[in-house]
Structures are given as structure tokens and as C-alpha cells.
Structure 1
Amino acid sequence: MGTRNFMRMPVVWMLVMSGSFPVAAGTAAELETEELFPRVEAVSFESASLKKRKRTVIVLPENWRSIKPAERRMLVILHGRGRHERSLVDDKMIRQQLLDSGLFVILPDGDDGWYLNSPVRQQDVYEMYLEEVLAKMANAYDLPGKGPQWAIAGWSMGGYGCVRFAERHPGRFAAVSSMIGLLDFPRNGLPAGQSYKVPVERFGTDESVWKQFNPLIHSEKLRGTSLMIITADQAFDRTMNEHFRDRLTALGLPHQYVELKGGHTFPVVRAAIPLVLAHTQRVLPRKTRK
């Protein structure tokens, strides 16, 4: 497929605070864009935060250029551990669902970074990197930098990441959808078969520090956000999601809780994607009210 370059404002990288994460006022380096499939593009750039070249995939709505920027609706989907930015679009069925959604779907490459700034690997600032990705994509595709048109989702590690990132940016996303996410994590003491080994190379060994990274503890920050939590009856994350559901209930935070058949597997993600898209489409306004 062909490639093209975005040559945006030839200025030094600047950040203008808009909403709760910075939006790019310009880029220091060009963005190289490759068409993977019709209306599916991969955007490569030098990450200022990670100090290496990274790539993000975006799925574009039909006739997207004719959609007024203020009326564009965005869904960020974060991949799971061991997956990458192409995992969803390389699945033909999911790719078509994303293409039919009418959304600008942004799929960052999060490596194995858990979408957080690691307390033990100072160079691994994946929360900062995700802010950078959204700023660059907003700039490149004329997406609104703030407002009610943004949603975020993810599966497994990405389910963890999307909830925690939304907590770290209160009010930034109108809808949050977690698929088989690790939502009471990192922690010890879960039942046998309902746990996951904490990557100490990422989170460190100090369990008191872990608390600042556990989405359950900070779920109050999601107040005012439309929440969908999806797990599976045989998934190791089920107990974590039950704990998170119970915490939302205790806080009086409205939410949808869905338990599918299956395990902590990609087929469950495939079954969950239509639910996430429907949730996002229902919550995000089709037109900005004046």
C-alpha cells in the first residue's frame, strides 16, 4: 500500500493544555502514513516521550473529510499484552465492524507498557506516550481536542489501561468500555485461578506503591462517565471485574456489567467489540449541540 507524509506546522513541538491532556499545537517531525486497508491508516512518528519510533493505526469513517471537525466522534482502543496496534484491524470481521461504526477509531501501539509511567523503569512513560499519541492524532486528523465526542476502550492489559487512563483524566471521555480487563490489579490475595502474576519489572515490588496503580481504588474518578465492564465466565479476570462492579455499585456509579461465555481469550474480545461499539455510539452525540 502507498505511503504519504503529513507535513504539519514546521515549528518546535509545543503543548497547549486543552481539557485534561495536551493537544499538539504543531509537530517537530513529519508523520509518515501508510494505507493498510481502505480507510485504515498506520501513522508512524518519533515519540518524544519514549525516544523511539512508534506507530498508531486509525480507522476512518466513510467520507470522513466531509464530517465537520466538531462533529467527529472518536474511540480509542488499547490492545492487550502480547498484542499490537494491528491486532483488531487484521481480523477481517472486526475490521469491518470498525469501518461501519462511523467512528474515528484510534489504535495505539502500547508495547508491554501497561499504559502507565513505570515507577521502576523511568524511561517507560507509557501514560505520557498515550497523551502524546492522542495529541498527534487530533492534530493530524483535525479531531476536537476536548468535548463529549471521545470514548476509550481496551482489552486485557488495555482494559486495565483504558480505565486507569480515564481515571487519570477525569471527564475526558464520555464512555469507557473494558473487555476482560484487569480492574483490581496489581495486587495479591485473589482466589486460585483468578489472579495474574504482577509484572514487577513494570510495577516494582512495593505493594504499597501498587495501590496508586489499581483502578478499583480510584474508581470514584469515573463519576459522570458511561461505563461498560465486560468479562467472561471462565476468564481469570472475572473476580477482579466482580470486585470493580461491586465498587461502582457501592459508589453509586451507573454502569453496565456483561458476562460473556468463554475465557480470557481473543474470541471473547471478538464477541465484545460489537457491544463496545454500540455503547460508544449510543453515548457519543452525533452532532454537537450549540
Structure 2
Amino acid sequence: MLLKRFMSSLMRVGLIVGVWLSVVDVSSAELKTEEIFPRIEAVSFASASLKKRKRAVVVLPEAWRSIKPADRRVLVILHGRGRHERSLVDDEAIRRQLLDSGLFVILPDGDDGWYINSPVRKQDVYETYLEEVLSKVAIKYDLPENGKQWAIAGWSMGGFGCVNFAERHPDRFAAVSPIIGLLDFPRNGLPEGQSYKVPVERFGTEEAEWAAFNPLTGAAQLKGMSVLIITADQAFDRTMNEHFRDRLTALELPHEYVELKGGHTFPVVRAAIPLVLAFTQRVLTRN
């Protein structure tokens, strides 16, 4: 019964075994688009999963219509807590880097949802919503179904979200790049200054159930993906990232680990974006 419900849920948003399906529920026909910068569009739609209108930003490569659909390379970037889908493109330096990357960049609006289906707030199904928005954007811009042409990244809450989502959709992405991500979370017991208060209104109060959401738990699902971990020497997430790095090492999963100077701050995100873009280009071009 649970499996049947799971498959039914995936069919509603158009995702089965890593393939985005062009079914009625994920049709892009009702999407509204607005150009906010040259080659950068905001798309909005009525989310069936969240029961409210949602937005995403899409950065398009130069002369993107001339790129064959099978050759289109896609990077999804999930924003941090307190940020939104425009946070990166509103930064002039980052906007130029995204425009010059040659990638289709999708920036969903994740609210404060941690990109999970909350066990507490049953209406907050942000994992299902993320499946939905990627399905709709993929249809709208005729993006490839092949997971080898997709990568996912994110910072802070979005760093947690991109790894968690990649683990739960292991055939969907070729590369994952968390930036100052909370990668050993939710949990208690980390060193002072190296922890983050668990939002129990989102994850619940039962610590025994938190492990299901902790990226350490599903790390083995990243087998076959290229992984770039970026943290900072003064960031409160550094220990979490070290734990995740050590977990991948124990599993004998190849990965790259970078420690920048700074804290858990947007300037570190700004410094990390060029590294993520270069890493993503390298992996997807190779594929």
C-alpha cells in the first residue's frame, strides 16, 4: 500500500526512476513567465503539491534555442534559509557568472521548507514540490531526461536540501555540490559553535526520527555521482561537512573537499559559486 501511494505521488509530479514525464499534471501550459534580466526568466505556477502559487528563476544560456535538447546541461541551485529564488541573480557578480556558464540554471523558491516533506506540517511537502517545479521547468524549456546532464547544488539550508534530494533521487543527477551545507543534520551533540538549532516545527521533536533526514544516513546513495563539498574555516557547519566527508571516505566514494576562508556567510557563497560552476561544467561536459 505504501509503495502504491509512493508511485502514485511520483506520477502526479511526473517523476519515475529519474525521468520527468510529460503528463497532464506537470504540463507547463499554465506557467507564466516574466523576463527579469536578459536571458533570465521568472516562471510562476499554481503548485498542486503546496496548494499555492510558486515561482522559480531560470537562467538561460546564450542562443539557448539553438542547443539541441539532448545537449542541454542543467544545474539546480537551492537557496539558503531566509533567502529566495532571486538571491543569486540579484547579485551582479553571480548573475554574470551564471549567464556565462553555458548551463540552464534553475533556482526554485523553497520558502523555509528545508526541501523535505515535513513529518509535522503535513501540508508542507517541499520534496514533492521540488519534484513538481523541476518537472514543469523541464517541460517548459525542453530539458533532457538523461540524469547525466543534470546537477544540483545549494547553500546552507539548500546545501542540506541538495544532498538530501540527490540521495532520494539517485538516478536524477550526475553531480551534487553543497556549499556551507548542514550535512550532519538534524541532530544534537555537536561541539559548541559547530551546531544549529533544529527547527522542530519542521522536523519534529523525536530525535530518533531525525536520522531519516540526515544526509549522513543516505550517503551511500551518492554512489556514481560526482561530489564537491565546500565549507569555510570559520563556519558553524564545518564539523558537519567534515563528518560528511569522512562518511564518503569510509564508503570509498570519490569526492572533492574545499575549505574556504570565512564563515557561514553569503560572501563565502559568492566565492564558492565559480567553483561549483566549473565543477558542474567539467562533469556534465564529460558525460
TM-score (norm 1): 0.92
Counterpart of 2:215, as a letter, is: P
Show the 5 A alignment for 1:71-82.
Answer: 71-82=71-82
Quote the offset at 1:172 in angstroms: 1.2
Distance 1:77 1:24 in 2: 23
Distance 1:15 1:193 in 2: 40
Give the secondary structure class of the aligned counterpart of 1:217: coil
Inter-CA distance 263–28: structure 2 relative to 1 (3 Å threshold): closer
Counterpart of 2:168, as a letter, is: R
Inter-CA distance 21–237: structure 2 relative to 1 (3 Å threshold): farther
Give the secondary structure class of the aligned counterpart of 2:211: helix
Inter-CA distance 164–17: structure 2 relative to 1 (3 Å threshold): closer
Quote the offset at 1:14 in angstroms: 5.8
255-264 vs 22-31, greater mean Cα deviation:
22-31
Distance 2:22 2:120 in 1: 28
Please give the per-residue CA displacement for 1:153-210, whole angstroms capped at 9, x wherever unaligned: 0000000000000000012110100000000000000000000000000000000110
Quote the offset at 1:106 in angstroms: 0.1
Show the 5 A alignment for 1:1-290.
Answer: 16-20=14-18, 22-26=20-24, 27=27, 30-285=30-285
Distance 1:80 1:28 in 2: 26
Inter-CA distance 15–192: structure 2 relative to 1 (3 Å threshold): closer
Distance 2:28 2:254 in 1: 42
Gaps of 5+ in 1: 1-12
Give the secondary structure class of the aligned counterpart of 2:285: coil
Does the CA contact (< 8 Å) of 1:138 and 1:144 recur in 2? yes
Distance 1:44 1:108 in 2: 10
Query: Structure 1 segments of 4 or more deviating over 2 A?
Result: 13-29
- Work out the number of aligned pairs and report it: 275
Does the CA contact (< 8 Å) of 1:171 and 1:222 recur in 2? no
Distance 1:77 1:170 in 2: 17
Counterpart of 1:61, as a letter, is: P
**Cα RMSD after superposing both structures:** 1.4
Distance 2:128 2:116 in 1: 8
Counterpart of 1:243, as a letter, is: H
Give the secondary structure class of the aligned counterpart of 1:152: strand
* Residue in structure 1 matched with residue 4 of structure 2 by the alignment: none
Quote the offset at 1:144 in angstroms: 1.2
Distance 1:85 1:212 in 2: 27
Quote the offset at 1:16 in angstroms: 4.7
Does the CA contact (< 8 Å) of 2:14 and 2:135 recur in 1? no
Distance 1:239 1:147 in 2: 31
| Larger relative strand fraction | 1
Distance 1:25 1:123 in 2: 23
Give the secondary structure class of the aligned counterpart of 1:270: helix
Counterpart of 2:65, as a letter, is: R
TM-score (norm 2): 0.93
